[in-house]
Amino acid sequence: MTRRLLLAVAACGLAATAGCAHPDERGDAAAAVARQLAEAATAGDGATACALLAPDTRAELESSAGTPCAAAIGAEDLPAPAAVTAVDVYGESARVVTATDTVFLGTFPGGWRVVAAGCTGRGDGRPYDCALQGG
Amino acid sequence: MRRFLRQNSLGLVFGVLFLLALVGQAFAGHADYNDQLRSDGLAEVSLGRYLTSASFAVDVAENWQSEYLQFFLFVTLTVWLVQRGSPESKPLDAVGREPDADQHVGEHARADSPAWARARGWRLGVYSNSLGLVMGLIFLLSWLVQSVAGAAAYNEEQLRRLQDPVPWGAYLLEADFWNRTLQNWQSELLAVASMAILSIYLRQRGSPESKPVGSAHDTTGVEG
């Protein structure tokens, strides 16, 4: 019995590397949300862009700007949409790298939402520096 | 039925306790995982989703690998290593793999000996080491699962902290992997050493893991 359970956990552990459920689909969904944010922000569609943000990210943006999200997000000057070069999905988090941006996402009841965008690497294992992120 | 339960009570009780502890770990781990998600501003997940997560898998596997490593080492090293006065040790003059006659193998097999104990060649070789081999194999598989699930769980945390994920090979060099591994190894090795040493001087009446209460401290290889 113990060996059977071990194998079950082993299989899940191996599957969990990519999220334990259709990693390609989850990655594609995360990339789609990242692209929608870039498109909406570039087009000046603040309402659509803000609907794609994680609650804490949206709250932080409104708090720091002192204006509603839809009005504030345009000033963040997020990079324009570009081809996706890499997608990483681990559990409830994802990272989408495009030719112009790195976007971090988390899962929510409505699907993937953007936790941070407009991010640039700082090297040495330090967190990305992001134009838009939660508190 | 009652006879069966009584005659297999050791395995059955430990099996049930194992399942209860695993269920408890699942609920506690789920609550802890959701605490972390909440503090990071993310949505909580269901118990089912947590049970298929890398976080749960690595927490289970890191403990399993160390337990099976402990038994693998204990089973194999006690062939050659002895401890004067310990019931966990064989007699001091019996170091090694012991003669075929003492092991009831080959031409010395008894009527009720397992078939592979009567066999020659690779079958006897495999069966003669089957306990250690299986313990060692489960250890390696559990450690592999720990490394794979651990890399996924580590990378999930990396992404939450807006940091780059690392490939599996690089994770094997990360402090997280070795911290998880060694914190379990040290406790298992301490437990074995404690059992080998304390059982020289201390007794548990009626337990086969102890010497008889009245046995001398330097009596070795006798179980009560």
B47 and B61 housed in the same domain: no
* A32-67 residue pLDDT tens: 999 999 999 999 999 999 999 999 999 999 999 999
Band (B221; pLDDT cuts 50, 70, 90)? confident
B30 and B126 housed in the same domain: no
- B-facing residues of A in 49-108 (CB < 8 A) are 54-57, 88, 90-95, 104, 106-108
Helix, strand, coil share (%) of chain A residues, nearest 5: 45, 25, 30
The ipTM of this complex is 0.87
For residues A131 and A123, the answer to whether their CB atoms sit within 8 Å is no
B210 and B117 housed in the same domain: yes
Q: Which domains, and CATH codes, for chain A?
A: 22-133 (3.10.450)
* B92-144 residue pLDDT tens: 999 999 999 999 999 999 999 999 999 999 999 999 999 999 999 999 999 99
B177 and B104 housed in the same domain: yes
> Which of A1, A16, A128 is opposite residue B54, by nearest beta carbon?
A16
The rounded percent of chain B whose pLDDT value lies above 90 is 98
B58 and B110 housed in the same domain: yes
Closest-CA distance, A119 to chain B, in angstroms, reads 9
Please tell me whether residue A128 adopts helix, strand or coil conformation: coil
CA A117/CA A50 separation, integer angstroms? 12
The encoded tokens of residue B190 equal 């301490």
The encoded tokens of residue B25 equal 């770990």
B126 and B40 housed in the same domain: no
CA A10/CA B141 separation, integer angstroms? 8
B91 and B169 housed in the same domain: yes
> Which of B45, B60, B151 is opposite residue A17, by nearest beta carbon?
B151
CA B27/CA A98 separation, integer angstroms? 38
B116 and B190 housed in the same domain: yes
pLDDT of residue A11 exceeding 50: no
Which residues lie below 8 Å from residue B180, measured CB to CB, with a gap of 6+? Answer: B58, B62, B146, B150
Residue-range definition of the domain harbouring residue B1? 1-52
Helix (H) or strand (E) holding A119: strand A111-120
